[in-house]
Structure 1
Amino acid sequence: MTKAIVFDLGAVLIDWNPHHLYKQLFASEDEMKYFLSNITTMDWNEEQDMGRSLQEGTDILVAQHPEHEANIRAYYGRWEEMLGGVIEGTEKIFQQLKASGKYEMLALSNWSAETFVIAQERYEVLNQFDGVVVSGIEKTRKPFPEFYQIMLDRYQLKPEECLFIDDNLRNVKAAEAMGIPSILFVGAEELGGELRERGIL
């Protein structure tokens, strides 16, 4: 029996995307994609998600790529411009599930502790969860099993009592390997259909 619905946040509930910022800074999409894929890489970003300070992460990357200093410093200096708002379809689903009173509403997110507080101030929905587990605070992240285990232990849940929603297949597979039923998020409409099929919504 499902007791808890567990949401990833970025690109599921909150439209966070570096493209929102960097399309303003690069003359061509190819240049932007090269920078985001080869300079401010996902591996680099995930170190901040695991608790490394934004300042340290920025300084390390500037030392490695001094020719890109201005655009590297913009990553966190203008981080708020990467926020495109709440994904309305997902928020509607969240509110329906919350209003039903049937489920514990949780969030499990790879997110820097320093930037998460900014998003919390901006988007009220982030304060409506029954619990939020943030990688930057816990110093570990998806897809590491211990991060999922923190959530299970903290909210006294068994894996099979959760339903996890994430847009990253890597994270979904890691959850499923722990016995947590999961949905790969591709869009709010598809999510709604999947939840109805499962009798959740």
Structure 2
Amino acid sequence: MIKTIIFDFGDIFVNLDKAATFRELEKFAIKKLPEVITRKNLEYEKGLISSEEFLNSYKNEFGLEHGSITNSWNAILIDFPEYRFNFIKKLSEEKEYQLILLSNTNEIHIEWIIKNVPFFEKFKTCFDAFYLSHEINLRKPDINIYEFVLKTHNLNPEDCLFIDDTKENTEAASAMGIHTWNLNPSREDVIDLFTIKKELF
């Protein structure tokens, strides 16, 4: 029986356009990200470098001003439908499950969310734990991020369901014995959890 539900954030609650950032960068004649920039992206998601250092890495590589980089970086973020907030709020009020959020994200994206999603702080309070990769210095699908959550909350993997739209993330969790739902945002919605994964409940 599932006792703990672990949710991703992007394309689970917040709608994303994952190709948008690169489309924006292409406007500046950037056709491909060099390895040094790809590495900076990963370091930034782990909170290993500051926003300033992250922005400067793009500025030094491509000659872009911080505003242009930030706008391109945030183009991935579309909106946060309030009905999904209402879903998690109701689930939280029912207190039948421990609720954990586990997201690969970064400071610039969260600043956009805070500015553009008026119910974000209330959303955070719906969870028993709220883990953002840049705050805990861990990133999916690295195995240590799942170990961190399991150990911190003394969880049995077989009692947990992890919901994420990225297959490599759910595969890593599944390998540890955690139940998973690799949600397809083009045809599935988190609010249908108890219909789509009814066999677990």
Pairwise same-fold verdict (TM > 0.5): yes
Contact kept in structure 1, 2:5 and 2:160, CA below 8 Å = yes
1:49 is aligned, of 45, 49, 73, to 45
Corresponding residue number in structure 2 for 1:97: 91
Corresponding residue number in structure 1 for 2:152: 154
Aligned amino acid, residue 155 of structure 1:
H
Cα distance in 2, alignment partners of residues 33 and 191 from structure 1? 36
Instruction: Please tell me whether residue 141 in structure 1 is matched to residue 139 in structure 2.
Output: yes
Instruction: Please tell me whether residue 84 in structure 1 is matched to residue 78 in structure 2.
Output: yes
Secondary structure at the residue paired with 2:78?
Answer: strand
Question: Please, what is the CA RMSD of the aligned residues?
Answer: 3.3
Identify unmatched segments of 5+ residues in structure 2. none
Aligned pairs (5 A) from 1:167-186: 167-186=165-184
Aligned pairs (5 A) from 1:29-44: 31=26, 35=30, 38-39=32-33, 44=40
Contact kept in structure 1, 2:89 and 2:126, CA below 8 Å = no
Aligned amino acid, residue 62 of structure 1:
K
- CA offsets, 1:166-193, max 9 Å, x none? 1111111111111111101113745455
Cα distance in 1, alignment partners of residues 28 and 183 from structure 2? 23
Cα distance in 2, alignment partners of residues 21 and 61 from structure 1? 13
Cα distance in 1, alignment partners of residues 155 and 32 from structure 2? 39
Normalising by structure 2, what TM-score? 0.76
Change (3 A) 1:64 1:81: closer
Normalising by structure 1, what TM-score? 0.76
Aligned amino acid, residue 84 of structure 1:
I
Shift of 1:64: 2.0
Contact kept in structure 1, 2:165 and 2:183, CA below 8 Å = yes
Contact kept in structure 2, 1:39 and 1:65, CA below 8 Å = no
Contact kept in structure 1, 2:88 and 2:126, CA below 8 Å = no
Instruction: Tell which deviates more after alignment, 167-176 or 57-66.
Output: 57-66
Identify unmatched segments of 5+ residues in structure 1. none
The number of residue pairs the alignment matches comes to 192
Secondary structure at the residue paired with 1:61?
Answer: helix
Change (3 A) 1:75 1:62: closer
Corresponding residue number in structure 1 for 2:58: 61
Change (3 A) 1:192 1:42: farther
Shift of 1:120: 4.7
Instruction: State the identity as a percent.
Output: 23
Corresponding residue number in structure 1 for 2:7: 7
- CA offsets, 1:37-72, max 9 Å, x none? 723976543321101211111212222222xx14x6
Cα distance in 1, alignment partners of residues 28 and 17 from structure 2? 12
Contact kept in structure 1, 2:46 and 2:137, CA below 8 Å = yes
Shift of 1:142: 0.3
Corresponding residue number in structure 1 for 2:197: 198
Secondary structure at the residue paired with 1:108?
Answer: strand
Aligned amino acid, residue 46 of structure 1:
L
Contact kept in structure 2, 1:3 and 1:162, CA below 8 Å = yes
